[in-house]
Each structure stands twice: as structure tokens, then as C-alpha cells.
């Protein structure tokens, strides 16, 4: 009767030992998988960060370009003013020449 209990104990101890080995193996596999996923997340995050910097730079460049060269920009206003001034100076010059004949 005692041998049966020892046999049961041995089987139980063997089973526990097997489960512990299996748990250790699965823990190692899981740790490797988690490390791989973490590396992939870091790579993806770096790509998005770079894309964000590029998008921000393009938006800033567009804004500056629009402010400098857009329809309502200072350079457009100066261009319109220059066109008007050219017309007025041309008329003044023509009137000055016309006065010589009067």
C-alpha cells in the first residue's frame, strides 16, 4: 500500500516537474514574441514620427508660401500697387508731353 502512494507521489511530482518545464518553455517563447512585437511597434512609431515631421514641414512651407505669394499676400498687394503706379506714371508722362503742345 505504501508503494502505491509513492507511485502516486512520483507521478504527481513528475507531472508537476513536466508542467514547470513546459511553463518555462512557453514563458521563453512568449517573451521572444513580446520582444518582437515591441520592436515592430517601435519601428512603426518611428515611421509615424518621421511622417509627422515631414507633414508638419510641408504644412509650414505651404503656409509661408501662401503668406508670401498668395492672392492676398504682401507681394501680391505690392504687385497690384506697382501695376497701378505704372499706369499713373505713364498717364502723367503722357500729360506732360501733351502740355508741351498746348
pLDDT of the residue at 65: 84
Per the CB < 8 A criterion, the answer to whether 69 and 76 are in contact is yes
pLDDT range class, residue 1, cuts 50, 70, 90: very low
Distance CA 66, CA 72 (A): 9
pLDDT tens-digit readout, 33-50? 999 999 999 999 999 999
Instruction: With 0.75 as the threshold, say if the pTM is over it.
Output: no
- Summarize the confidence of residues 17-45 as an average pLDDT: 95
Which has the higher per-residue pLDDT, 65 or 19? 19
Distance CA 59, CA 47 (A): 18
pLDDT range class, residue 59, cuts 50, 70, 90: very high
Rounded percentage of the chain residues whose pLDDT exceeds 90: 47
- Summarize the confidence of residues 71-100 as an average pLDDT: 81
3-state secondary structure the chain: CHHHHHHHHHHHHHHHHHHHHHHHHHHHHHHHHHHHHHHHHHHHHHHHHHHHHHHHHHHHHHHHHHHHHCCCCHHHHHHHHHHHHHHHHHHHHHHHHHHHHC
Amino acid at each position: 500500500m505504501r508503494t502505491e502512494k509513492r507511485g502516486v507521489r512520483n507521478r504527481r511530482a513528475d507531472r508537476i516537474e513536466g508542467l514547470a518545464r513546459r511553463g518555462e518553455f512557453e514563458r521563453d517563447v512568449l517573451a521572444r514574441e513580446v520582444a518582437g512585437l515591441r520592436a515592430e511597434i517601435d519601428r512603426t512609431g518611428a515611421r509615424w514620427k518621421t511622417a509627422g515631421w515631414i507633414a508638419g514641414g510641408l504644412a509650414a512651407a505651404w503656409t509661408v508660401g501662401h503668406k508670401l505669394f498668395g492672392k492676398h499676400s504682401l507681394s501680391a498687394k505690392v504687385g497690384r500697387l506697382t501695376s497701378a503706379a505704372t499706369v499713373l506714371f505713364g498717364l502723367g508722362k503722357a500729360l506732360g508731353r501733351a502740355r508741351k503742345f498746348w
